[in-house]
Structure 1
Amino acid sequence: MAHVNQSEGGVRYRWVVLLVAFLVHMTSVTLVWQALSPLKKQMAVDLGVPWQDIAVVYAAISFGLVFTQLPGGALGDKYSVRYAVGLGAVLTGVATAVRFAFPTLTGQIAVSLLATVGIGIVNPNLIKVVTEWFPSSQLGLGQGVLMTGNTLGIGLALSLSAGFLLTTIGSWQNVFALYGGITAVVGIFWLLFVRSPRKDERPTNVETGLPFTSSEGVPFRDSLPAVLRSPSTPWAISFAALAYWSVFGSLAVLPEYADAHAFAVPEYVLGVSPFAGTAGALLLPLLSDRYTRRLGLNLGIVGLAAGIILTGVAPSFPVFILAMLVSGSSGGGLAAMFYILPGELADIDPNHVGTMSGVLLSLAQLGAVVGSIIGAQALSSYGVEVSVIVVAGPCLLGLLMIPRLHLDGRGEDQPTATAVGTDD
């Protein structure tokens, strides 16, 4: 899917779109979700339950996304992504801000499920937004920058929530009220300043000479069967689910991994892993722009598994930091690579990118749900050594699935001489 020849204004404006998409991704997709992990012990005291039960509140978002991202992505194929993303972000922010009003475990689970309605609309459609604005040669860069919003949101949640913010504003309820308010404001900002590309702002397909289009008004009854018939779809879903098992399973118990070591791990250090993910989210996609998508995927899998295992068995604080750097950068890079897939798989039509994103992310969340719960239970019952194997092992199976993906790209290897213009 190589594209060229965008108008000068479109090239400038696409960076504005990417910046706002970055902010939406940081707040509505990760900040409001990942704060549950470091705050779970404070929540458990107030709710009167064991801390392991709060893992269900965390996992409820993963569970909800199994059902919401597929229709959420289809909404972006049928209606304007401007309103889909903006209203989804506002809904997520409001749902997060009102956690204080539900002082029971059941209530907190219900709020998590409500928030997933907004997250499930936002996440797949941000992928489509970047695909609409960026040519194939820069798609790794665009999706990588988008994913850095995700990793920075996780880093801020882990570093600030149970430390500085909890001390400053007094309670976990106030932390969520703050995060929810910020998320809603960013959603309103999106509604005010972001639009879809005009015809002369769209990248051009070098194979046809026509602007790349991903039309609105595509019926769900057409887009979903087309995606499910594509040969790459089952392999992409399985691969992403195994990777999400490892990524989110490790994040759910990272504070407990830190506490299990003989050496002290300060609270703020927990943000190292996702902050490293910011670098990985940029570097692996850029590497795949320069070489091949398969290289980025393979490096992400191996680094993620190795880093998680080393985090659990680290003999010293410096090794623990190194392990978080490896797992964080690899996990962030791998997650960004999954954002590239819907727009780069040769057997997915551009009009179905939103639906493919929804299908991929929805079903991948099954891995996140199972990984989060089983990782916590394995830690509680058998200790850190068993838990890291249970959490890290499944993603290695993805190495067997990468060759099944049709990653030759739409026009990826076409000579640039056929283009009607040049990339900026």
Structure 2
Amino acid sequence: MDKNKHRWILLTLVVITNMLVYAIPSMAISVLSEEISLDLNLSVVQMGVVWGGAGLMGIFTSLLGGALIDKIGAKKIFIFGCLATGLLGAGRGFATNFISLTIIVFLLGAFTPIILNSGYKISGMWFPSEKLGLANGIISMGMALGFLMGSFLSASVLSPLIGGWRNVLILYGALSALLSIPWMMIKTIPDGLSQSSTNQASSIIIKIKHVARKKNIWLIALVYFGVGGGVQGILGYLPLHLRSIGWAPLTADSALSAFHFTSLIFILPIAFWSDRFGARKRMLLVTGLMSAIGALVISISTGGFIWAGIFLAGMVRDGFMTILLTMIVESEGIGHQYVGTATGFVLAIGGISSFLAPPIGNSLESLWSGAPFLFWSILSFAGVFCLRFVVTKKPQTDYNTQRLFATQD
């Protein structure tokens, strides 16, 4: 098959995998939160733990998993990961109380970051540096589409259609497991690249130590900690907040869908501009500030003004994450041997915030309903502040730079 055609087929499979394994099921938890909490008798803080719980295991597995991707290759990770997330994802539908649901969510969170990391590894292998931002933008666009579909379909359409939140999560789990089949059959490494050209002999511990010594990776991780944690909190609490101030359930779910729809529209323009003008850091500064200000607007607004905050934060959500993850592979000292480990390192630090930010923010609801958004806004501003110290370079134009990201599959 033509190499150019194959890379797009491979990227399409990555997009579909991220949608069905992570984006759609994760957003389903948010819009199904009221139904789940009523069925299992959960408090708002407990739902915050469930929503952010996946980030706890991700703290550990993101780091080790990233190094494992560099060691054994993305294909094997995708095959096993789709099976594991499918079984665990379906298992949430059999939870009987807060403890059982939380345990399953924690275990599920061990696999999803590794799968996401593998997708970016694939794009790095097959796409040249000057097109890498666009390729990662397409991956993020698929994620945004998945978030949109999950928020729009799960509670308002699928739950009443197939018998409640349990069956919805079981359905998503089955679809995730089935995706392991195409990954068994597809080629994931370009011709001419071998283990000898990638030098993957170093141990996982050595890889982690190498990445941990890179100041730039720590700074990128802190940016992700702040902005990513703020967004995670917003996504989990927004439907509950809107319903608590009197919005109709369908309108509240539609607001979350609008958040993801605006993100979907702006992902590719943001990614394209960062590639075209080599202005990744400046784009991150602007989009990060927009996300933080959007959360602030939601916090202090009532009525129609809330929509302004939703659109402001939503339009840059996935575009911001796309550019930030692209900057990882372009950082000094991160080449073919360390891209998976470095991405895993950043996701691990971000996982701490994804776990802590939702319940901490939700606990502030007792002050006033918009208080959690103020907390997440401050957290996002802190992340943007760390961004000013990140060192960047313009995207390379040498097509052969894709060899930097090769691995053994």
State the TM-score, normalizing by the size of structure 2.
Answer: 0.90
Any idea what SS the aligned residue of 2:53 has? Answer: helix
CA distance in 2, matches of 1:401, 1:107: 37
Q: Does 1:386 align with 2:371?
A: yes
> Which residue in 1 is equivalent to 2:329?
343
Residues 77 and 260 of structure 1: is their aligned pair in 2 closer, same or farther, counting only changes over 3 Å? same
> Which residue in 1 is equivalent to 2:206?
222
Any idea what SS the aligned residue of 2:32 has? Answer: helix
Q: Does 1:75 align with 2:59?
A: no
Offset of residue 194 of structure 1: 4.2
Aligned partner (choices 193, 202, 220) of residue 236 of structure 1: 220
> Which residue in 2 is equivalent to 1:404?
389
CA distance in 2, matches of 1:146, 1:183: 17
CA distance in 1, matches of 2:18, 2:110: 15
Aligned partner (choices 312, 315, 319) of residue 299 of structure 2: 312
> Which residue in 1 is equivalent to 2:253?
267
Q: Contact 2:57/2:106 (CA < 8 Å) preserved in 1? A: yes
- Deviating more after overlay: 239-248 vs 393-402: 393-402
Q: Does 1:103 align with 2:87?
A: no
User: After superposition, what is the alpha-carbon deviation per residue over 1:115-170, rounded to whole angstroms, capped at 9, x for unaligned?
Assistant: 12221321212111111111110111011111112222222221121111111111
Q: Contact 2:243/2:252 (CA < 8 Å) preserved in 1? A: no
Aligned partner (choices 280, 287, 312) of residue 326 of structure 1: 312
> Which residue in 2 is equivalent to 1:295?
282
Aligned partner (choices 225, 235, 238) of residue 254 of structure 1: 238
CA distance in 2, matches of 1:213, 1:376: 49
Alignment of 1:157-176 (within 5 A): 157-176=150-169
Aligned partner (choices 19, 22, 29) of residue 29 of structure 1: 22
Q: Contact 1:376/1:387 (CA < 8 Å) preserved in 2? A: yes
CA distance in 1, matches of 2:133, 2:399: 22
Any idea what SS the aligned residue of 2:190 has? Answer: coil
CA distance in 1, matches of 2:343, 2:399: 31
Any idea what SS the aligned residue of 2:188 has? Answer: coil
Q: Contact 1:257/1:311 (CA < 8 Å) preserved in 2? A: no
Q: Does 1:278 align with 2:264?
A: yes
Identity of aligned residues (%): 22
User: After superposition, what is the alpha-carbon deviation per residue over 1:324-365, rounded to whole angstroms, capped at 9, x for unaligned?
Assistant: 222112111111122212211123222100000110101111
CA distance in 2, matches of 1:46, 1:343: 44
Residues 384 and 227 of structure 1: is their aligned pair in 2 closer, same or farther, counting only changes over 3 Å? same
Query: Any gaps of 5 or more consecutive residues in structure 2?
Result: 402-409
Residues 218 and 148 of structure 1: is their aligned pair in 2 closer, same or farther, counting only changes over 3 Å? farther
CA distance in 2, matches of 1:119, 1:76: 13
CA distance in 1, matches of 2:31, 2:293: 23
CA distance in 1, matches of 2:388, 2:285: 10
> Which residue in 2 is equivalent to 1:188?
181
What is the one-letter code of the residue matched to 2:359? I
> Which residue in 1 is equivalent to 2:138?
145
Residues 287 and 214 of structure 1: is their aligned pair in 2 closer, same or farther, counting only changes over 3 Å? farther
Residues 166 and 413 of structure 1: is their aligned pair in 2 closer, same or farther, counting only changes over 3 Å? closer
Aligned partner (choices 33, 43, 48) of residue 36 of structure 2: 43
Any idea what SS the aligned residue of 2:270 has? Answer: helix
RMSD: 2.4
Any idea what SS the aligned residue of 1:199 has? Answer: coil
Query: Any gaps of 5 or more consecutive residues in structure 1?
Result: 1-7, 203-211, 420-424
Residues 215 and 373 of structure 1: is their aligned pair in 2 closer, same or farther, counting only changes over 3 Å? farther
State the TM-score, normalizing by the size of structure 1.
Answer: 0.87
> Which residue in 1 is equivalent to 2:117?
124
What is the one-letter code of the residue matched to 2:215? P
> Which residue in 1 is equivalent to 2:404?
none
CA distance in 1, matches of 2:384, 2:49: 30
CA distance in 2, matches of 1:176, 1:418: 42
Offset of residue 260 of structure 1: 4.1
User: After superposition, what is the alpha-carbon deviation per residue over 1:201-223, rounded to whole angstroms, capped at 9, x for unaligned?
Assistant: x9xxxxxxxxx965544421221
Offset of residue 395 of structure 1: 1.4
CA distance in 2, matches of 1:151, 1:82: 23
CA distance in 2, matches of 1:95, 1:32: 11
Q: Contact 2:151/2:256 (CA < 8 Å) preserved in 1? A: yes
Offset of residue 199 of structure 1: 2.0
What is the one-letter code of the residue matched to 1:225? K
Q: How many residues are aligned here?
A: 398
What is the one-letter code of the residue matched to 1:388? F
